[in-house]
Amino acid sequence: MFVDSHCHLDRLSDQTHGGDIAATLAAARAAHVSQFLAIAVTLEDMPQLAAIARAHQDVAISAGLHPLHTPVSEPSVADITDAAEQYGAVAIGETGLDYHYADSVPIDIQHERFKRHLLAARELELPVIVHTREAKQDTLDLLREHSDPRVGGVLHCFTEDLAMAREAVALGFYISLSGIITFRNAAPLRELARQLPLDRLLIETDSPYLAPVPYRGKPNQPAWVVEVAECIANERGISVDEVAMQTSVNFYQLFRAAAPDAPAHVKQALAQSGLL
C-alpha cells in the first residue's frame, strides 16, 4: 500500500475524473493508495475538508493557512487550535516560509504566521506540515525555537539541499518527496533520496500540482504517488514494496491521530514498534 501524505482534494482539477473526489479516490485505491492527508490552504477550507473526511474513512485532514495566502484577517493561535479541534485535524499546516514569492506576503507577516502555527502545534501536540522555499536558515531557526521535537512534523514537497534535510531530521522532522523527484533536472533530489534514511521519508503528490513523469503537464492526482515511490526505489536499489511499507509506517508514526484507521498489516508493524 501507499500513502499520499499531502494532497489538496478540495482543489482537484475538473480534468481529473471530472472533478469527482470519490472517483479520484477510487482510482487511487485501485493503484493501492490506501490513505490520504488532505491539506488545508486556509481555515475557511476546513468545513469542506471535514465533509470529505466524513465521507471517506481513509482521508485525514490538516488545519492551517498557507504562507502565500492573504486572508481577511490573520488567524491567532486560538483560531488555529479551535479549527483543528472542531474539524478533527491530525496536523497543523500547511504553514512555513516562501521567499520565492515574498512579494505576495511580506516576510515579517510570514514569520509571525509561521510562529503562530508552530505554537498551535505545540499546544495541541500535533505535527506541523512545513512549506519552505528559498528560506532555509529562517525556516530552521524558527523550527528550533518554536517546534516540539517530541511531536515534530514534515518538510513537504522538499526541494532544498541535503544539508537542510539532515538538519530538519535532527530536529525531529520527516522529509516528504513529491513528483518533482522524477523531473529531469532533479538529480540533487534523487541523491537526497539515496542519502537520507528511509525511515525519515514520506511520499506525496501535492495534487493537483506537480504531476510526476510520465504525467508531467497534466493535473496531478493521488494515484500517481506510486510514481514517486518507484523513483525512490530505483534510486535506492530496493523494491517498491519496501518503500511503500516504510513510508506508510513513517506516515502513521508521525500522524498518530490517523493511525487507528491504518490498514491491518501497517497496524501490525506499528504495534511491533510499540507505536500502537
| CATH number of 136's domain | 3.20.20.140
1 contacts 34 by C-beta, under 8 angstroms? yes
Three-state secondary-structure class, residue 242:
helix
Q: What are phi and psi of 91, to 5 degrees?
A: -160, 165
How high is the pLDDT of residue 237?
A: 98
Q: What are phi and psi of 92, to 5 degrees?
A: -105, 130
Cell numbers of 149, please?
Answer: 521535537
Q: For the chain, report the end-to-end CA distance as a whole number of angstroms.
A: 19
Which residue is listed with cell 494532497? 7
Is 199 part of any known ligand binding site? Answer: no
Radius of gyration of the chain (CA): 17
Confidence grade of residue 138 (pLDDT, cut at 50, 70, 90): very high
- Report whether 169 contacts 198 (CB < 8 A): no
| Domain that includes residue 242, residue range | 2-272
pTM of the predicted structure, to 2 decimals: 0.95
Which pLDDT band, with edges at 50, 70 and 90, does 262 fall under? confident
Rounded to an integer, what distance in angstroms lies between the CA atom of residue 75 and that of residue 95? 12
- For 234, residues 6+ apart whose C-beta sits below 8 A from its C-beta are none
Residue 98's CB: how many other CB atoms inside 10 A?
A: 19
Q: What are phi and psi of 274, to 5 degrees?
A: 75, 20
**Total number of domains constituting the chain:** 1
Q: What gap in Å lies between CA 143 and CA 221, rounded to an integer? A: 30
Known binding residue 44? Answer is no
pLDDT for 117 beyond 70: yes
Per-residue pLDDT tens for 160-215? 999 999 999 999 999 999 999 999 999 999 999 999 999 999 999 999 999 999 99
Q: Is 206 annotated as a binding residue?
A: yes
